[in-house]
């Protein structure tokens, strides 16, 4: 078997997937955005941000003049926080969109499962109804017992109500 090599051939069109733009796998980017959104929504992030802001304020307010890296009173801090927020908001929205897509798929699976369960329950109820109709003509043990009890009561009444007949003498046939 000859191994095929990938060459540009003049008799075949160029592959359209070749572009100068970098290809980005949306799943990889989506998973990364979910991790970032999960981290931003954690208490650990709030603690880190609080320590960062307090350190910034302390260094630029009470630190020696040579350590003060924000020459304007906290404008650099505002810029850093707004830059962080401008990246965090779209990542959080992307994570929410992915979650809503997963919820939509789960809802559809639940709906399909529920419809299947309802169809099964409907089928089983029809089968039970058919069995009840079919068993209506079949005598059951309880039915026979009740009928025998009724017959026994009727016999006991008949015996109690009948006059006592004298026993007849056997007839001699000789």
Average pLDDT over residues 92-106: 91
Query: What confidence score (pLDDT) does residue 78 get?
Result: 92
Structure tokens at 102: 């997963």
Query: What confidence score (pLDDT) does residue 70 get?
Result: 82
Which run of H or E residues covers position 61?
helix 43-62
The model's confidence at residue 1, banded by pLDDT at 50, 70 and 90, is: very low
pLDDT tens profile 44-90? 999 999 999 999 999 888 888 888 888 887 899 999 999 999 988 98
Alpha-carbon gap, residue 137 to 134, rounded angstroms: 6
The model's confidence at residue 9, banded by pLDDT at 50, 70 and 90, is: confident
Is the pLDDT at 121 greater than 90? The verdict is: yes
Would you say how long the chain is, in residues? Answer: 174
The model's confidence at residue 132, banded by pLDDT at 50, 70 and 90, is: confident
Alpha-carbon gap, residue 49 to 23, rounded angstroms: 33
Query: What confidence score (pLDDT) does residue 170 get?
Result: 65
Structure tokens at 87: 């990246």
Is the pLDDT at 98 greater than 80? The verdict is: yes
Query: What confidence score (pLDDT) does residue 81 get?
Result: 93
Torsions phi, psi of 38, nearest 5? -65, -40
Alpha-carbon gap, residue 78 to 153, rounded angstroms: 101
Least confident interval from 33-37, 109-113, 121-125, 170-174: 170-174
Residue-range domain boundaries for the chain: 26-160
Alpha-carbon gap, residue 44 to 51, rounded angstroms: 11
Query: What confidence score (pLDDT) does residue 153 get?
Result: 92
Q: Tell which wins on pLDDT, 120 or 174.
A: 120
* Residue 94 neighbours by CB distance under 10 Å: 18
């Amino acid at each position: 078997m000859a191994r095929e090599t990938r060459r540009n051939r003049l008799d075949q069109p160029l592959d359209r997937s070749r572009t100068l733009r970098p290809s980005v796998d949306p799943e990889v980017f989506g998973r990364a955005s979910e991790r970032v959104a999960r981290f931003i929504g954690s208490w650990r992030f709030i603690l880190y941000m609080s320590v960062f802001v307090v350190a910034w304020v302390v260094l630029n307010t009470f630190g020696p003049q040579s350590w003060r890296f924000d020459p304007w009173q906290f404008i650099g801090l505002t810029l850093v926080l707004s830059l962080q927020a401008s990246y965090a908001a779209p990542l959080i929205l992307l994570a929410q969109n992915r979650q809503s897509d997963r919820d939509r798929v789960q809802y559809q699976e639940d709906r399909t499962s529920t419809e299947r369960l309802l169809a099964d329950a409907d089928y089983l109820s029809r089968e039970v109804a058919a069995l009840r109709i079919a068993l209506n003509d079949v005598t059951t043990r309880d039915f026979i017992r009740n009928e025998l009890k009724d017959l026994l009561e009727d016999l006991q009444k008949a015996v109690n109500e009948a006059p006592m007949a004298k026993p007849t003498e056997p007839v001699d046939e000789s």
